[in-house]
Amino acid sequence: MPPRARWQVSDETVTADLGIFLERRHKDVAFFPLAPLIPRGHAKLWAIGAVNFSNGRGCIMTEAATRGRRGRGGGGAARRAERSAVSFETAKYIERNIPNFEVLTEEALDIIEANAEQILEEVGVNFPDNPPALERWREAGASVEGERVRIPKGLARKLCATAPAQFTQHARNPDRNVVIGGKNLVLAPVYGPPFVRDVAGGRRYATMADFQKFVKLGYMSKWLHHSGGTVCEPTDVPVNKRHLDMLLAHMTLSDKPFMGSVTEPSRAQDSVEMCEILFGKDFVQENTVMTSLININSPMTFDDVMMGALEVYAKNNQACIISPFIVGGAMAPVSVAGTLTQVFAEVLAGIAYSQLIRPGAPVIMGAFVTSIDMNSGAPTFGTPEASHITYGAGQLARRLGLPFRSAGSFCGSKLPDAQAAYETANSLNMGLLSGVNFMLHSCGWLEGGLVSSFEKFVMDADQLGTLHHLAAGVQIDENAQAMDAIREVGPGGHYLGCAHTQANFKSAFWKSDLLDYKPFETWEDEGARDTQALATLRVEKMLNDYQQPAIDPATLEALTEFVARKKAAEPDSFM
Residues numbered 150 to 189 that lie near its own copies (CB under 8 A) are none
The DSSP 8-state label assigned to residue 91 in this structure reads P
Query: Alpha-carbon distance 190 to 451, whole Å?
Result: 9
342 binds its own copies (CB under 8 A): yes
Chosen residue from 192, 257, 394, 435 binding its own copies by CB under 8 A: 192
Among the residue ranges 71-79, 282-290, 353-361, 498-506, the one whose residues contact its own copies (CB under 8 A): 498-506
**Other CB atoms closer than 10 Å to residue 90's CB: what's the count?**
21
Query: Alpha-carbon distance 33 to 24, whole Å?
Result: 8
Query: Alpha-carbon distance 30 to 42, whole Å?
Result: 14
**Smallest separation (angstroms) from its own copies to the CB of 548:** 27
Distances from the Cα of 98 to the Cα of 216, 424, 428, 474, angstroms: 32, 21, 15, 8
Distances from the Cα of 116 to the Cα of 158, 392, 496, angstroms: 14, 14, 57
Collapse the DSSP code of 365 into the 3-class scheme (helix H, G, I; strand E, B; otherwise coil) and give the result.
Answer: strand
**Smallest separation (angstroms) from its own copies to the CB of 561:** 27
CB closer to its own copies out of 102 and 273: 102
- Of 293, 290, 296, nearest to 317 by C-alpha is 290
Binding string to its own copies for residues 83 to 102, with x set by CB under 8 A, is what? ---------------xx-xx
Chosen residue from 9, 45, 94, 119 binding its own copies by CB under 8 A: 119
CB closer to its own copies out of 277 and 352: 352
CB closer to its own copies out of 166 and 567: 567
Chosen residue from 159, 253, 320, 327 binding its own copies by CB under 8 A: 327
Chosen residue from 9, 125, 274, 458 binding its own copies by CB under 8 A: 125
Chosen residue from 301, 401, 546, 567 binding its own copies by CB under 8 A: 301
Chosen residue from 295, 355, 390, 406 binding its own copies by CB under 8 A: 295
**Smallest separation (angstroms) from its own copies to the CB of 285:** 26
Query: Alpha-carbon distance 34 to 115, whole Å?
Result: 61
CB closer to its own copies out of 177 and 227: 227
Pairing of strands 363-366, 319-327: parallel
CB closer to its own copies out of 344 and 438: 344
Q: Bridge-partner residues for 320, per DSSP?
A: 292, 363
Among the residue ranges 70-78, 85-93, 333-341, 435-443, the one whose residues contact its own copies (CB under 8 A): 333-341
Chosen residue from 87, 177, 383, 390 binding its own copies by CB under 8 A: 383
**Smallest separation (angstroms) from its own copies to the CB of 540:** 18
Among the residue ranges 84-92, 181-189, 217-225, 294-302, the one whose residues contact its own copies (CB under 8 A): 294-302
Number of residues near its own copies (by CB under 8 A): 173
Query: Alpha-carbon distance 306 to 263, whole Å?
Result: 7
**Smallest separation (angstroms) from its own copies to the CB of 446:** 11
**Smallest separation (angstroms) from its own copies to the CB of 327:** 6
Helices (H), 123-225: 131-140, 155-160, 208-220
Q: Evaluate whether 380 touches 372 at the Cβ level (below 8 Å).
A: yes
Binding string to its own copies for residues 478 to 497, with x set by CB under 8 A, is what? -xxxxx-xxx-xxxxxxxx-
List binders of its own copies among 534-573 (CB under 8 A): none
Query: Alpha-carbon distance 170 to 405, whole Å?
Result: 18
Task: Give all strands (DSSP E) within 104-160, no chain letters.
Answer: 125-126, 143-145, 148-150
Chosen residue from 5, 12, 64, 138 binding its own copies by CB under 8 A: 64
475 binds its own copies (CB under 8 A): yes
458 binds its own copies (CB under 8 A): no
Q: Evaluate whether 193 touches 232 at the Cβ level (below 8 Å).
A: yes
Which amino acid belongs to residue 315? Answer: K
CB closer to its own copies out of 262 and 563: 262
Chosen residue from 429, 434, 437, 442 binding its own copies by CB under 8 A: 429
List binders of its own copies among 195-234 (CB under 8 A): 203, 230, 233
**Smallest separation (angstroms) from its own copies to the CB of 289:** 21
Q: Bridge-partner residues for 187, per DSSP?
A: 439
List binders of its own copies among 306-325 (CB under 8 A): 306, 325
Residues near 407 by beta carbon (within 8 Å), at least 6 away in sequence: 390, 427, 428, 430, 431, 432, 434, 436, 439, 441, 442
Q: Evaluate whether 54 touches 5 at the Cβ level (below 8 Å).
A: yes
- Residue 535, classified by CB atoms within 10 Å of its CB into exposed (0-12), middle (13-18) or buried (19+), is buried
442 binds its own copies (CB under 8 A): no
Torsion sign over Cα 138, 142, 145, 147: negative
**Other CB atoms closer than 10 Å to residue 501's CB: what's the count?**
19
- Of 1, 201, 197, 181, nearest to 95 by C-alpha is 181
List binders of its own copies among 228-287 (CB under 8 A): 230, 233, 235, 239, 262-263
Pairing of strands 368-372, 148-150: unpaired
Give the chain's length: 575
**Smallest separation (angstroms) from its own copies to the CB of 455:** 9
**Smallest separation (angstroms) from its own copies to the CB of 516:** 6
**Smallest separation (angstroms) from its own copies to the CB of 40:** 6
**Smallest separation (angstroms) from its own copies to the CB of 512:** 8
Q: Evaluate whether 444 touches 457 at the Cβ level (below 8 Å).
A: yes
21 binds its own copies (CB under 8 A): yes
List binders of its own copies among 350-379 (CB under 8 A): 371-379
